[in-house]
Amino acid sequence: MRTLSMAVFKQQKVEDFYENGEELGSGQFAIVKRCKEKSTGVEYAAKFIKKRQSRASRRGVRREEIEREVNILQQLQHPNIISLHDVYENRTDVVLILELVSGGELFDFLAQKESLSEEEATEFLKQILDGVHYLHSKKIAHFDLKPENIMLLDKNVPLPRIKIIDFGLAHKIEDGVEFKNIFGTPEFVAPEIVNYEPLGLPADMWSIGVITYILLSGASPFLGESKQETMANISAVSYEFDEEFFSSTSELAKSFIRQLLTKDTRKRLTIEGALNHPWIKNHEHVEDTNLVQWQSGPCQLKTKRLKEYTIHSHCSIPPNNTYVNFERFARVMEDISVIDSGLEEVAQKRESLQEDVEALLSIYNEKETWYKEESSSVGQGLSRLRYEFRKAEARRKDLQEDIKATEASLDVISSRYLERQAQLSRLSEELNTELRWLQELMSSLNGEGENGGRCSTPDLNNQVNKALKEMLSRTCGEESHCSSQTDNTESFF
């Protein structure tokens, strides 16, 4: 394997160095073709990965994800792991020149057999475990172990060699760094992926447990009618060893699966524990008498169910069983990417706005200093105006009170004036009446005097004065006024 500089891709045209052949497979964002190196004639597999052209795009794979896959592949060199030979890049694609694995999928190979012994099954599982042990020794988790990614280098040999392929989701697990994600094929993902919990190497061990279950039975332990049902089954660890599928399966094999399909990652079988499990090592001395069944002779497993499973997987993939990298939860991850891009733009605009705010703040501080100086002198003038206003307000209130008092006095005087006027009117009427009466009396008296002169004038005057006094005393309550009227009457006569 050639050693490549980290994340440095050759910018030459891949067609100048390799002849492309037929298509070997394809996915949502990648196409794999057979190719031949012109200088050596050696055949390889060229994986054309479509690059994402912009952050807002939903098509293609981000360059950093491709770089991560390349960087991981550059660290790997193991008989059971596909090797990277070269990397090229053009405007639209990154091309990985990979080891040619032409033997097909392991499950397809085993499904062609009439029967499969547990010993044969463990021989292949041992190779898978060896490859995963190498990965885990380098703190690398594959995160997408499934039948489609377990290939045979060449099926036309007595014991074909297993090759683990497709490291598009692989991650280097760093101590002290929490890693969470929602990815993988729902049928094979671990509960911690479904529940969005911290991820690590144990996720691969769960996938190996699912693969083993399918390999021995041809049935998928958690597959439901929908993606949601599948994930609910995984989260609840809802599976069983149906007698229809596991009647010929040893207790050792079931024990191996149980220890892998454990929800608690701390109790789940590690890669070292799996390699040392009695079913894999085929120990001759087993302490648990319930697990002796397999030692009495190899159990022959019918491959009919496995054949049906592989046909179903290839021909009628159910909605919740997607086998293409990045198709699982793609919309969610794409939306998150768009949101991240939007957040970056917001951050840039925020920095620009921050500069504008600082400039405005500087202008504001200058204006505020000027305003304080101006407001100080204006404040003093306002204080004087307030003082004068308060004085004027006090005077206004005093005047209002005086006006009210004056109005009240005027109302009293007006009332009294009206009363006096009414009294005078009545008195005037009575006087007029009395004067008319007096005039009539005088006229009659004068007429009698002329005729006989019976009554003397002084006596008549005294009677008239007496009558007027009585009249005035009745109509006037004030003594001075009555006296004045009497004097006027006397002077009249």
Catalytic residues: 144
Q: How far, rounded to the nearest angstrom, does the alpha carbon of residue 138 sit from its chain's CA centroid?
A: 37
* Sheet strands (E) in 180-222: none
* Closest residue by Cα to residue 248 from 209, 280, 215, 217: 217
CA–CA separation, 270 and 125 (whole Å): 14
CA–CA separation, 422 and 433 (whole Å): 17
Other CB atoms within a 10 A radius of the CB of residue 476 amount to 19
CA–CA separation, 142 and 127 (whole Å): 15
CA–CA separation, 394 and 164 (whole Å): 100
Q: How far, rounded to the nearest angstrom, does the alpha carbon of residue 418 sit from its chain's CA centroid?
A: 86
CA–CA separation, 242 and 473 (whole Å): 139
**Residue 115 backbone dihedrals phi, psi, to 5 degrees:** -150, 165
SS3 label, residue 105: strand
What Rg, from alpha-carbon coordinates, does the chain have?
59
CA–CA separation, 45 and 29 (whole Å): 16
SS3 letters across 327-355: CCCHHHHHHHHHHHHHHHHHHHHHHHHHH
Per DSSP, helices labelled H in 53-98 are 63-74
Token readout for 233 is 């089954």
Instruction: State the amino acid at position 187 in one-letter form.
Output: E
CA dihedral 285, 291, 292, 297 (to 10 degrees): -110
| Distinct helix (H) and strand (E) counts, the chain | 14, 11
- Name 315's Cβ contacts closer than 8 Å, sequence gap at least 6: none
344, 350 contact by CB (below 8 A): no
Helix axes 304-315, 202-217, angle to 10 degrees: 120
CA–CA separation, 312 and 107 (whole Å): 12
Token readout for 346 is 């917001």
326, 29 contact by CB (below 8 A): yes
Other CB atoms within a 10 A radius of the CB of residue 107 amount to 24
Q: Residue 152: enclosing H or E segment and its boundaries?
A: strand 150-152
